Structure 1
Amino acid sequence: MARSTFISDGPDFDQFNPQLHRATRARYATILLRISGVMPPPRRSMLFVPATRPDRFSKAIATGTDIVIVDWEDAVAANLKAEARKSVGTFFSDPTERSLLRYLRINSPRLEEGLRDLEALFEMETLPDGIMIPKVESPEEVLWVSEILTPYRPNIELFPVVENARGVRALAEIALASNATTVIGFGAVDLVAETGSDLSWDALLYTRSQVVLAAAEAGVECMDTVYIDIGNEAGLKTEAKKARSVGFTGKAAIHPSQIATINFAFSPTKDEVDFAQKVVEATTDDFSGAVQVDGKMIDEPVIIAARRTLARAERISSAASK
């Protein structure tokens, strides 16, 4: 996909400059937002709620998840799709006791139900904070949804998810397709059904790495796939820790009981925050070269990582205090 198809951030936006492009995206902008004092909510965890079960909306918020996703797709039977579109009510406009993001998962825009979903959005009094686009196979899908929605809601976030081989092959282009994208997701269950693989860490490590690299290039955050063994908290903890070490910034939950474990895994530890603070304090804006902190050699990439750690910790703290 040619870069000329990007949606411009303004008349002077240099869409051929990767550094400027990344600076407008969530993963990089977090540091700048911290300096400006405007902190976006964290995106460590997300929990799906069927749109046909509005009685569960408040329960989902109470779990402590960073993102509640009202689902018009997989969680809704085909004969209930029309009902689901009418069941959201005032959820996206109702005040909440804490800071969180409220997204909506539509059906694939390649399908008739997805087109009906997009049409229904224009009948809603309040749009969600973001739109999850499932089973994305090409950048054109993301760009199309963006061009439909952003003229009417410039700040709406897009969350494309890759779930099959075609989507994985187009990851980089999908992540870069629209400046409305703030996070990309990986859905492994459909992928392993297609490839004949399994859900083990080793089997999916290559694909996970591709998701992280695409997110890093685009400057957006990335959410790992669900862990389907609901009763295995130790297994979830291990997988979430590995996902964070690879570069994921959050993970999807398949059950409310998983939220606390996921939030903990994707939050900086006290030791990480303390070390990051030492790194920042030991360097200045005009710092050049290297310095030692706790016996470790510190240079510019480590400083950037330290600032990101502090910004992430502040995002979490800020959300918890609201």
Structure 2
Amino acid sequence: MKATYLSRTLMVTSALKIDRFEKGQHSGADINLIDLEDAVPAADKQLAREELAKLRPEQVHGTLGVRINSVHTRDGLADLLTILDSEVEPDLVVVPKVESPQHIRLVDEILTKADRSCHLWALIETPRGVADAMAIGAASPRLTALTFGLADFAAEMGATLAWDGMLSARVQVVMAARASGLVAVDAPTFDLSDNKMLELEARKAADIGYSGKIVVHPQQIAVVNDVFSPSPDAVEWARDVVRSFEQTDGGIRVVDGSMVGPPFLRKALAILELQERR
């Protein structure tokens, strides 16, 4: 099950603020996520589910995601039941605190028995989850993305949010995603006042193979979309590479003064596919 939607930006909005969700759908994010987990206080979980249940198809424009609570909690199971009973089926369900393939398989089984077709995203945000990321990535055909949960992971590690300290975990998550043909989405940049840091972290994430980034405010969307979109130069390079391979029988050749082999063709095709889907 391959995702057919872009995943450069995933905008998070609390289920308690459906009005903001409706406005946010016009802000340019590829995916708009209604959050039942971290953005909802414990005392308001039931109210958040009731707000989600009120959502109607005419209120949804574009790709819809819902983040549930951990499936090993009463709230997580209640969240799933709410999704099953809702008039609107989300395109994807984000499963937090995933630490083993069984967590994903459980949600998959529940959705399958209810004849729901939504994709699953696994949020990897604990040391145990990072350690088992490769197995998690292969847990289910319904799974289309792994997401790195920076804040929770750093808290459990007793570490800071600094990029260098979190690089190893980020690499493990993106490797696990790519090994199973999944999308990899990076954690948010929490400093809303520093767009230079946002761009730098997005570019570093793109450099190691991430496809997008969670955003926590509409002002971050344009910056992140730009980083994870092919530049005109990249598109031109990709077309040159594809054209070069079409004119020969494969092997190594020179494009714009650089040696280019089959791996570069795969990269070029991925760039052109992303450009077409924008």
TM range (shorter): over 0.9
Q: Does 1:252 align with 2:214?
A: yes
What TM-score comes out, normalization by structure 2 length? 0.95
What TM-score comes out, normalization by structure 1 length? 0.83
Instruction: Tell me the residue number matched to 2:23.
Output: 59
Asked if 2 retains the 8 angstrom alpha-carbon contact of 1:150 and 1:156, the reply is no
Identity among equivalent positions (%) equals 36
**Which residue identity lines up with residue 243 of structure 1 in the other structure?**
A
Give 1:1-322 correspondences, 5 Å limit: 25-26=2-3, 40-89=4-53, 91=55, 93-94=57-58, 100-153=62-115, 155-284=117-246, 287-316=249-278
**Structure 2: segments with no counterpart, 5+ residues:** none
Give a deviation string over 1:137-163, Cα, whole Å, max 9, x none: 111000110111034345311011011
CA distance in 2, matches of 1:228, 1:42: 22
CA distance in 2, matches of 1:177, 1:139: 5
CA distance in 2, matches of 1:285, 1:179: 36
Shift of 1:90: 5.6
Q: Which runs of 4+ in 1 moved over 6 A?
A: none
CA distance in 2, matches of 1:73, 1:309: 34
Shift of 1:101: 1.3
CA distance in 2, matches of 1:128, 1:272: 33
Q: Give SS of 1:231's match.
A: coil
CA distance in 2, matches of 1:75, 1:163: 16
Shift of 1:284: 2.5
Shift of 1:95: 6.1
Q: Tell me which of the two structures has the higher relative contact order, counting C-alpha pairs closer than 8 angstroms and 6 or more residues apart.
A: 1
Shift of 1:237: 0.5
Asked if 2 retains the 8 angstrom alpha-carbon contact of 1:175 and 1:214, the reply is yes
Shift of 1:78: 1.3
**Structure 1: segments with no counterpart, 5+ residues:** 1-23, 27-39, 317-322
Q: 1:212 to 1:235 in 2, by over 3 A?
A: same
Asked if 1 retains the 8 angstrom alpha-carbon contact of 2:150 and 2:161, the reply is yes
